[in-house]
Amino acid sequence: MQTVNIHEAKTQFSRLVDAAANGEEIVIAKAGKPAARLVPMERVKVTRRFGGLKGKIRIADDFDAPLPDHVIAAFEGR
């Protein structure tokens, strides 16, 4: 655990954030007394459930049909 004063924390903030993101804990002190702690974010693992949106999404029957000529022309800048 690393302890830094507020002035050093302000001047080295990016380096301290990188260190915390890599798992290091940093204590920020004010007048020599611990005032705050910079710690890494807790990684939340999202579990995905197969079929969770079943029945909630509808895809049109002509989803993969060719686009009309005027739409293709608009994409091509004609």
Q: Average the pLDDT over 67-74 and give the result.
A: 93
Residues 58, 77: Cα–Cα separation, whole Å = 31
CA distance 44 to 27: 24
pLDDT, tens digit, 9 for 90 and up, residues 12-58: 999 999 999 999 999 999 999 999 999 998 888 888 889 988 899 99
Closest CA to 6 of 31, 38, 25, 39: 31
The SS3 of residue 7 is helix
What length does the chain have? 78
Fold of 2-38: YefM-like fold (3.40.1620)
pLDDT at 9: 95
CB 26 within 8 A of CB 46: no
Of residues 52 and 11, more confidence is placed in 11
Residue spans per domain, the chain: 2-38
